[in-house]
Amino acid sequence: MFEHLLPTMSKILADIKDDLIPNSQQKRAKSRIFIDESNPSETKIPWDWNQFYRYLSMVTKLKCF
């Protein structure tokens, strides 16, 4: 069930993103670079909406149960 729910939730979040998050905030998020805490001196991680949707979907699912 988890494998079916995650893509569905991610798609729904992608579909409603523009209605929920102002463009200025979307641009701000895309301009952010994150540091990989497991290797802080090497790896920089750019913002990724698809990963955000995936992780947000997992948190939402866990709170439901």
- Cβ atoms of residues 45 and 35 within 8 Å: yes
pLDDT at 61 over 60: no
Q: pLDDT tens digits, residue range 21-53?
A: 899 998 998 888 877 777 777 777 888 888 888
Which residues, 6 or more positions from 10, have their beta carbon under 8 angstroms from its beta carbon?
A: 50, 53, 54, 57
What is the domain partition of the chain in residue ranges? 2-64
Model pLDDT, residue 22: 92
pLDDT at 37: 73
> pLDDT at position 19, please?
92
Tokens of 41: 């001196």
pLDDT for residue 65 = 47
